[in-house]
Amino acid sequence: MSASSEMPYFVKPSVNLSPEEKATAYDQAYAAIIATIGDEADDTMKMATINCLLKTFLPYYYWVGFYLVRNGRLVVGPYQGTLGCLYIDFGRGVCGTVAATGRTKIVGNTHALEQGKEHIACDPNSRSEIVLPVRRADGSLLGVFDVDSSVEDSFDEIDQQWLERILSIFG
């Protein structure tokens, strides 16, 4: 896998935040998300809006989007960033592993994983990642939510807590 590739004009390199800066940014993003789609029912509308507002407030969000469960595999849904892989099988890559286990995964250095098996590089610029399960009210798996950064070690438990809160909007 090539170490990196040229970023298209519409994507900027990630910039990590301190824990304090992160908490402030998520607070603002959460308020904007609730104000915009708080009581909407349409999942596609909610997904597209969440991607946009999180990418607006969090400068290390290089790629952000949803993979949805369709016929026993994952299919790319609404996202912002460079070209996303179209399909991901359960158990493959970070997304497929989270879909199979139902547990969140935080990866500090994606290039340290076995490519094609533990990690799928839709874009070689991805250096760290967080993937969370997304559930409906009945607990069934709607899909997974995936965020990539173009620098290492962008994600931690602060991201996990805020994203679990935001993604509960689908439950």
Torsions phi, psi for 149 (to 5 deg): -125, 150
169 lines the binding site for ligand SME (CB under 6 A): no
Reduced to 3 states, what is the DSSP secondary structure of residue 47? Answer: helix
CA distance 95 to 90: 8
Cβ neighbours of residue 59 closer than 8 Å, sequence gap 6 or more: 12, 14, 15, 17
Stretch that binds ligand SME, among 19-27, 32-40, 83-91, 162-170 (CB under 6 A): 83-91
Least Cβ distance, residue 62 to ligand SME (angstroms):
9
149 lines the binding site for ligand SME (CB under 6 A): no
Stretch that binds ligand SME, among 8-16, 20-28, 45-53, 82-90 (CB under 6 A): 82-90
Among 80, 119, 130, 159, the residue binding ligand SME under the rule CB under 6 A is: 119
Q: Which of 63, 85, 82 is nearest to 74 (CA)?
A: 85
130 lines the binding site for ligand SME (CB under 6 A): no
- Does the CA dihedral 21-52-139-131 come out positive or negative? negative
| Residues within the interface to ligand SME (CB under 6 A) | 63, 84-85, 88, 93-96, 119-120, 122, 126, 129, 146, 148
